[in-house]
């Protein structure tokens, strides 16, 4: 048995459950995107812009983990489809931010709401103290996963 295999045998089962949630989340995003004729990066871009608000194409690309030129291509394609709009800064006309359109918000709501309702139903089965523990655990996991973030 090699060193990595031996280390894996000592990993807490909850760690593997978190890994499974991450994988299920990726799969869910891909299925939701496919259901509306998008790819996962496109739907993720809409979700990021809905959550964080307008941002520059470079920042959006960083958050998506894609190159600047790929982000520009994504923004161009989604702007042409009517999902994103470029807006110039009021203070610096050279700066351009990308924002979602009402059409994109409607699509995001349509694909996310069924999942949110199901997740909420599961959360509601927990007691108040269990919810507090889960929220704390997830916040700490999120913090660990965000370490090293460049934005």
19-57 pLDDT, tens digit each: 999 999 999 999 999 999 999 999 999 999 999 999 999
* pLDDT tens for each residue of 53-81: 999 999 999 999 999 999 999 999 999 99
pLDDT band at 6 (very low <50, low <70, confident <90, very high): confident
Does the pLDDT of residue 151 top 70, yes or no? Answer: no
Does the pLDDT of residue 135 top 70, yes or no? Answer: yes
Rounded-to-integer distance, Cα 44 and Cα 26, Å: 10
Q: Mapping DSSP to helix (H, G, I), strand (E, B) and coil, where does residue 59 land?
A: helix
pLDDT band at 89 (very low <50, low <70, confident <90, very high): confident
Rounded-to-integer distance, Cα 10 and Cα 119, Å: 30
pTM of the model: 0.81
**What confidence score (pLDDT) does residue 36 get?**
92
Of 101, 25, 62, 141, the C-alpha closest to 33 is: 25
Does the pLDDT of residue 10 top 80, yes or no? Answer: yes
pLDDT band at 1 (very low <50, low <70, confident <90, very high): low
Tokens standing for 139? Answer: 């916040």
**What confidence score (pLDDT) does residue 5 get?**
75
């Amino acid at each position: 048995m090699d060193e990595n295999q031996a280390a894996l045998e000592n990993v807490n089962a909850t760690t593997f459950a978190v890994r499974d949630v991450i994988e299920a989340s990726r799969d869910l995003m891909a299925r939701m995107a496919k259901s509306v004729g998008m790819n996962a990066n496109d739907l993720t871009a809409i979700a990021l812009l809905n959550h964080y608000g307008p941002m520059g194409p470079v920042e959006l690309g960083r958050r998506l983990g894609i190159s600047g030129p790929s982000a520009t291509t994504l923004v161009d394609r989604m702007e042409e489809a009517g999902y994103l709009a470029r807006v110039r800064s009021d203070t610096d006309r050279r700066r351009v931010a990308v924002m979602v359109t009402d059409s994109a918000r409607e699509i995001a709501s349509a694909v996310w709401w069924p999942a949110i309702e199901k997740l909420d139903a599961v959360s509601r089965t927990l007691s108040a103290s269990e919810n507090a523990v889960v929220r704390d655990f997830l916040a700490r996991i999120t913090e660990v996963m965000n370490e090293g973030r460049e934005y």
